[in-house]
Amino acid sequence: MDAAAPRLVAIDLDGTLLDPHGHVPDRSRAAVRALGAAGVRVIMATGRSRWSAAPIAEQLGLSGPHVLMQGGLVAGAAEGDRVWSAPQEREAVLEQLAFAREHGLEPILGYEHGYRAERLTADLRALSWPMYAEGARMELVPSLETTAGDGVIRTFLFTSPGRHAEIQRAARERFGDRLSITWGDEFGIEFLGPGVSKGAALRVVAARAGLRMSEVAAIGDGRNDLEMLAEAGHSAAMETAGPEVRAAADLVVPSSAAEGVLVALLAWFPWLERAIGGESDEPAA
C-alpha cells in the first residue's frame, strides 16, 4: 500500500455514491469491498439515519462506525452500536420550533431512533427521501414542544426551492453561530448543535482509529459535506456540487451517474483498477 494513500475514506451517499436511482453501481461496490480487503477503512458520511443507511452498509460490507445524521451521530449500522452523539438542549430546540412557527414551516424532530412530527403535509409525503419513508420510525405527536427535551439531534424544516434562500438567510440572522445550520439541497434546512458537522464527526472517527486527518479522505456533493472536505487530507467533490463545495476539494470528479466516486478512489488507489477488473493482486494491508 502506498504510504501516502488514505487509510480511511468517508463517502457521502445521496448524490455521491448512490446513482440517480438510489443504487450503488457494481464497480463502485467492488472497489469499496476491495479497499476493505486491503485494510483501508471505508465509512459512510451521510445525512441519513442509521436504519436508512444500514442496508447500504450491509451490501458494501462496512462495519463502521459511520458519520450519520449530518454528523450528529457516530455509530455502527446496528442498533445500539453508538460511539458518540450530539443531542441538543431543550431550550435550543424550543427556539428552533418557534422559528419554524414564525415562518409557517412544519418542523420534524430527529432522534437517534426515529422522528416526531405533528403532521406530515402533502409536500413532505411526496418526498422520496429515506427519512420520510420510515413508517414505524415516524411518530405523530400533538405537540413537539412537549417532547423537545428527549434527545433531539436535529430539527428539519421543509422549504420549497423558492423559499430556501429566504429561510436560510433568516435562520443565519436568528441563530448566528449558536447552532449549526446545514442543508443537502433546496428542499430543507437542518438545525444541529453548535459545532456539529460531518467534519467534526469525522475527526471523532479518525481519532478513535488512531489516524491523523492527513490520512483521511472524504467525498461529497452538498453544502453539508463542506466541513469534512475541508478537514480531510484528501478530498473530492462531485461536479454537480456548488462552487463553494468544489473549491473545498482537491479533486472534482464526475457526477454520481458517471461513478465519480470510483474516479476519486482510482486517483488515490490506482491498484483498484486491477482489483475490480477481476485480478486478485491487491496489495496487502
Using one digit for the tens of pLDDT, what is the confidence trace for 128-187? 554 444 556 888 899 999 989 889 999 999 888 889 999 999 999 999 999 999 998 888
One-letter identity of residue 147: T
SS3 260: helix
pLDDT of 57 higher than 90:
yes
Residue 79 — very low, low, confident or very high, per pLDDT cuts 50/70/90? low
Nine-digit cell at 236? 473530492
pLDDT above 90 as % of the chain: 75
pLDDT at 277: 83
Report, as an integer, the average pLDDT of 201-217: 97
pLDDT of 191 higher than 90:
yes
User: Which CATH architecture best describes the domain 8-85+197-276?
Assistant: 3-Layer(aba) Sandwich (3.40)
Task: Answer with the residue of higher pLDDT: 73 or 138.
Answer: 73
pLDDT at 123: 72
Using one digit for the tens of pLDDT, what is the confidence trace for 248-276? 999 999 999 999 999 999 999 999 999 99
The strand ranges marked E within the chain are 8-11, 41-44, 66-68, 73-75, 82-85, 107-111, 114-117, 138-140, 154-158, 180-182, 188-192, 216-220, 234-238, 251-253
Query: Does the predicted model carry a pTM greater than 0.85?
Result: yes
- Decide if domain 90-192 falls under CATH 3.30.1240.10: yes
pLDDT of 220 higher than 70:
yes
pLDDT of 279 higher than 50:
no
What DSSP letter does each residue of 55-91 carry, written as one string?
HHHHHHT----EEEGGGTEEE-SSTT-EEEE-PPPHH
Q: Where are the domains of the chain?
A: 8-85+197-276, 90-192
The owner of cell 416526531 is 116
Class of residue 246 by CB neighbours under 10 A (exposed 0-12, middle 13-18, buried 19+): middle
The torsion angle over the Cα atoms of residues 257, 260, 265 and 267, rounded to 10 degrees, is: 140
pLDDT of 282 higher than 70:
no
pLDDT at 80: 63
